[in-house]
Chain A
Amino acid sequence: MAGKLKVSTVSLAGCFGCHMSLLDIDERLLTLLERVEFDRSPITDIKHCSPCDIGLIEGGVCNAENVHVLREFRANCKVLVALGACAVNGGLPAQRNALDVGEILQMVYRTGHGLAPGSAVPDDPELPLPLNQVHPVHEVVRIDYFLPGCPPSADAIWSFLNDLIEGRAPRLGHGLLQYD
């Protein structure tokens, strides 16, 4: 596998839409796999990332586990990329930022409509604690490149990765740079 770049990907507070968009490059995935191998990623199901050339972060940071994973990626990836609207600015999950997280949990699990009798806020010790606000990834670690979009289109991801692999500073022209 010598000569291939190692790529890790993860979805933090995201919906995996950006990963779906990555898969949307379709048969170009085969071309991509001639140049890269995947380390930690939903594609490989590897749980921890080892030293990598490129890390793609989908989603913002909404809980303690997200912080740990993001820091692990930063420590291991030479180039770290914020992939998609949520990683770039918090996105949809950050719409809760003006609300109190305790009140949200009460409303969702105890006082909301249609709940089963005896519903309670989950407190399994394995569940990561939510943060009081959702943060874009650049507010937690240093990010090298940003690829906005909800999700970024397959063509944008393809163009971006090609630039990165070829050692060029990625540039997104009209139609590829979209925030929506």
Chain B
Amino acid sequence: MKDTFLLDGEEVAFTPGQTVMQAATAAGKYIPHLCWHPDFAAHGSCKLCTVRIDGRLATACTVRAAAGQSVESETEELADKRRTLLQLLFVEGNHFCPSCEKSGDCVLQATAYRLGMLSPHFDHFYPDRAVDASHPDVLLDFNRCIMCELCVQASRDIDGKDVFALSGRGTRSHLIVNSVSGQLAETRFAASDRAATICPVGVILRKRVGFAVPIGKRTYDREPIGAVRADTVHTDKEPG
């Protein structure tokens, strides 16, 4: 019975070195998350994957699985905390789903659906963030950024272009483009880059493909996030 832990009372096998998130995902179990992606190093910033491990709160994406651990994830207490985190993200940016091309394919939105987030609860910031439409093939709408850094990692570690970075601290943190003018057109960024499809929300969008799939028929309109197969969470590898 070595190398298993309990996730919400069910045994999950792991190989030494795996995190709780990696083991759970490999076992087809969904733990809500935004900044974690199986192809990249854990970022541990969104805190959506917070679970109780032997009674203590910890992020499932950064804690290594250990034999005999008891991990709680699907509890009302954690759902409450996760909803609050989502609400904070929604009011901090401008997340107007009806006018967003990512709606229905958006991990933030789908996670909020799954956790039953009905209201933003807090007062909205309504930040003023300019859109960057300088690139011929890709549009950047910074209003929707949740600072997961997946585009930063993809551009740096896979594309080898270092196009994106986070700048500023605290509430002034924001995504920037690594060029003299700050415009995407001035970088080597291409629509074929991994960073072009990695965004879980609607910041990095390909031009001229808007509404190719109508609202109501998109990924998470068809089935809830993580509901059937854990791999429905990461749809960014699908073509187009």
Contacts and interface: CB of A to CB of B under 8 A. Distances in A.
Say whether A associates with B: yes
A22 B196 CA distance: 40
Nearest to B130: A98
A55 interface: no
A141 to B, nearest CB: 13
A43 B126 CA distance: 34
Given A82-B119, A85-B96, A146-B118, A180 B215 contact: yes
A90 B223 CA distance: 27
A92 interface: yes
Contacts of A143: 119
B56 to A, nearest CB: 31
Contact of A179 (B112, B124, B126): B112
Interface in B118-144: 118-121, 123-124, 126-128
A150 B116 contact: no
Interface in B216-236: 221, 223-224, 227
A135 B126 CA distance: 10
Interface in A135-179: 135-136, 138-139, 143, 145-148, 150, 171-172, 174-175, 177-179
A147 B118 CA distance: 7
Given A174-B223, A180-B215, A92 B121 contact: no
A150 B97 contact: yes
Interface stretch (B24-32, B66-74, B99-107, B178-186): B99-107
Given A174-B224, A179-B109, A179-B112, A88 B120 contact: yes
A21 interface: no
A141 B119 CA distance: 14
A44 interface: no
Contacts of B113: 174, 177-179
Given A179-B103, A180-B100, A89 B120 contact: yes
Interface in B184-231: 215, 221, 223-224, 227
A146 B117 CA distance: 9
Most buried by A among B100, B124, B227: B124
A94 interface: yes
A85 B119 contact: no
Contacts of A138: 119-121
Interface residues of A, number: 30
B239 interface: no
B115 to A, nearest CB: 10
B121 to A, nearest CB: 7
A145 B118 contact: yes
A138 B119 CA distance: 9
A92 B124 contact: no
A14 interface: no
Given A88-B119, A147-B118, A98 B100 contact: no
User: Can you list the 7 inter-chain pairs with the closest CB atoms, starting with the nearest?
Assistant: A98-B128, A150-B98, A179-B97, A146-B119, A97-B126, A180-B103, A146-B118
Given A174-B224, A179-B109, 18 more contacts: A85-B98, A89-B96, A92-B99, A94-B96, A94-B124, A97-B124, A135-B124, A136-B120, A138-B119, A138-B121, A143-B119, A172-B116, A175-B221, A177-B113, A177-B116, A179-B113, A180-B97, A180-B103
Interface of A: 82, 85, 88-92, 94-95, 97-98, 133, 135-136, 138-139, 143, 145-148, 150, 171-172, 174-175, 177-180
